[in-house]
């Protein structure tokens, strides 16, 4: 696990992640030097005094406007990349992504329903949408697991995939129905569905953190078992792994990350599909390495994607999901072509 190759990969991934954070904070309608952004972030993190040469306006822009957006983008990208790596290993399917099980469709339906009705629940206020979305995603996971258990006692990979397709298709049709029935909220719904981390403050970051930590803990706790399950249920049993118990924990962790990410940012595609593939090409299929590298690369990638989304046609901002699709689809196509050609050559 701690080979020279992997050590270099960790170093590059961490540097890429940190550089993307600083770059994301520096670039915008008001350009801030990278050194200044790094100085403000570092000194604020450790409660050191900020240089008098840095204007108060610059400090406010960095800490109150750009940094929470960048941190949220990094966490969402990390969550989707790790969830994608877990789903691909668990389901033994390189085309699996965080949205395979339909949990994201449940979270999206909850959010679209809130926008459609224009409701704001007591004590939640502006957090009605993400909270309802997270609850809807969690209920979707419970329904899927119950449905699979009803079909068969064991949580087989084939049944989970088929159940996910069924539930995702059904929930997707309900979302389409709400879109067809909506009026003036149409633009808001479509904008949310295409994904964005704009206009989110530290409150959204703090809302996301508990789910991020819990999902991260469940996946890292089962990273060795995920290696065994990736080779099939019989192999896992031979190695002393309880497939049903571990599969349930991994599904829960990956679904928590996915549902919470969708709740705070909308649907952002290709991050959980492409990033694990890229990391696997460099570091191999060992999930003890694959998961942490996916965390750093996925987070950095989404931060840079967000930078492109808010600057390429400034002052207009593009939905971040549009940029990830434009970048991710060709990259994944090239990866798939190279893998298939290598396999059959």
Give 157-209 pLDDT, tens digit per residue.
788 888 888 999 999 999 999 999 887 788 888 888 889 998 888 999 999 99
Task: Write out 163-179 in H/E/C secondary structure.
Answer: HHHHHHHHHHHHHHHHH
The answer on pLDDT for 340 being more than 60 is yes
Question: Under a CB-based contact definition with an 8 Å cutoff, are residues 156 and 140 in contact?
Answer: no
Is there a contact between 325 and 274 (Cβ–Cβ < 8 Å)? no
Task: Give the rounded percent of residues in the chain with a pLDDT score beyond 70.
Answer: 98
Distance CA 173, CA 185 (A): 18
Position 120 pLDDT exceeds 90: no
Q: Mind listing the pLDDT tens digit for each residue in 38-50?
A: 999 999 988 888 8
Does the pLDDT of residue 2 top 70, yes or no? no
Structure tokens at 294: 């996916």
pLDDT at 338 over 80: no
Q: Which residue has the higher pLDDT, 144 or 2?
A: 144
Both tokens of 242, joined, read 């309880």
- Domain ranges, residue 132: 4-344
Instruction: Rank 6-10, 38-42, 52-56, 198-202 by mean pLDDT and report only the highest.
Output: 38-42
Q: What's the CA gap between 227 and 211, in Å, rounded? A: 24
Q: How would residue 225 be classed by pLDDT, with cut points 50, 70 and 90? A: very high
- Token duo for residue 326: 């434009």
**Block residue for tokens 């200044």:** 36
Q: If you average pLDDT over every residue of the chain, what do you get?
A: 89
Domain with 85 in it: what CATH number? Answer: 1.10.3470.10
For 126, counting Cβ atoms within 10 Å of its Cβ (0-12 exposed, 13-18 middle, 19+ buried), the class is exposed
User: Which pLDDT belongs to residue 119?
Assistant: 83
Q: What is the dihedral of CA 188, 191, 193, 195, to 10 degrees?
A: -140
For residue 241, what pLDDT is reported? Answer: 87
Determine how many CB atoms are found less than 10 A away from the CB of residue 31: 8
User: Which pairs with CB-CB distance under 8 Å and at least 24 residues apart come from 123-131?
Assistant: 127/203, 127/207, 129/263, 130/204, 130/207, 130/263, 130/264, 131/207, 131/263
Question: 292 versus 154: which is more confidently predicted?
Answer: 292
| Cα first-last separation, the chain | 30
Q: Read off the pLDDT of each residue in 137-142 and give the average, rounded to a whole number.
A: 90
Q: Answer whether residue 1 shows pLDDT above 60.
A: no
Mean pLDDT of 89-109: 86
* Mean predicted confidence (pLDDT) in 97-115: 89
Indicate whether 220 pLDDT > 80. yes
Cα–Cα distance, 191 to 195 (Å, whole number): 7
pLDDT at 210: 94
Give mean pLDDT, residues 75-88. Answer: 95
The predicted pLDDT at position 345 comes to 59
The 10 Å Cβ neighbour count of residue 191 is 16
Query: How far is Cα 196 from Cα 268, in angstroms, rounded to an integer?
Result: 8
Please tell me whether the peptide bond between 315 and the residue prior to it is cis, using omega within 30 degrees of 0: yes
When divided into structural domains, the chain yields a total of 1
Query: In 3D, which of 216, 190, 283 has the Cα closest to residue 76?
Result: 216
Contacts of 195 (CB under 8 A, 6+ apart): 265, 266, 267, 268, 269, 319, 320, 321, 322, 324
User: What is the predicted pLDDT for the residue at 79?
Assistant: 96
Instruction: Using the predicted structure, report yes or no on whether residue 344 has a pLDDT greater than 70.
Output: no
Query: Could you tell me if 82 and 294 are in contact, meaning their C-beta atoms sit under 8 angstroms apart?
Result: yes
């Amino acid at each position: 696990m701690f080979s020279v190759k992997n050590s270099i990969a960790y170093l590059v991934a961490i540097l890429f992640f940190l550089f993307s954070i600083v770059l994301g904070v520096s670039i915008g309608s008001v350009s801030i030097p990278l050194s200044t952004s790094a100085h403000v972030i570092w000194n604020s993190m450790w409660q050191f005094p900020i240089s008098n040469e840095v204007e108060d306006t610059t400090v406010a822009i960095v800490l109150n406007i750009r940094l929470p957006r960048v941190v949220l983008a990094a966490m969402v990208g990390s969550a989707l990349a790790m969830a994608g790596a877990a789903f691909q290993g668990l389901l033994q399917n390189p085309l699996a992504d965080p949205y395979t099980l339909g949990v994201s469709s449940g979270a999206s339906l909850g959010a679209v329903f809130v926008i459609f009705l224009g409701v704001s629940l007591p004590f939640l206020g502006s957090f009605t949408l993400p909270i309802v979305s997270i609850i809807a995603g969690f209920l979707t996971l419970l329904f899927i697991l119950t449905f699979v258990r009803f079909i068969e006692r064991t949580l087989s990979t084939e049944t989970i995939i088929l159940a996910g397709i069924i539930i995702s298709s059904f929930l997707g049709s309900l979302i389409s129905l709400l879109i067809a029935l909506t009026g003036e909220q149409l633009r808001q719904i479509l904008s949310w569905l295409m994904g964005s981390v704009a206009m989110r403050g530290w409150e959204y970051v703090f809302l996301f953190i508990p789910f991020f930590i819990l999902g991260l803990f469940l996946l890292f706790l089962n990273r060795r078992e995920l290696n065994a399950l990736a080779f099939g249920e019989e192999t896992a049993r031979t190695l002393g792994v309880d497939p049903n118990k571990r599969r349930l924990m991994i599904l829960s962790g990956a679904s928590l990350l996915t549902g919470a990410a969708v709740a705070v940012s909308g649907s952002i595609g290709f991050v959980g599909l492409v990033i694990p593939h890229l990391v696997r090409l460099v570091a191999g299929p060992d999930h003890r390495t694959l998961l942490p590298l996916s965390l750093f690369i996925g987070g950095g990638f989404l931060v840079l994607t967000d930078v492109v989304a808010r600057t390429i046609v400034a002052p207009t901002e593009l939905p971040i999901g549009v940029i990830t699709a434009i970048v991710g689809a060709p990259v994944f196509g090239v990866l798939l072509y190279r893998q298939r050609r290598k396999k059959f050559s």
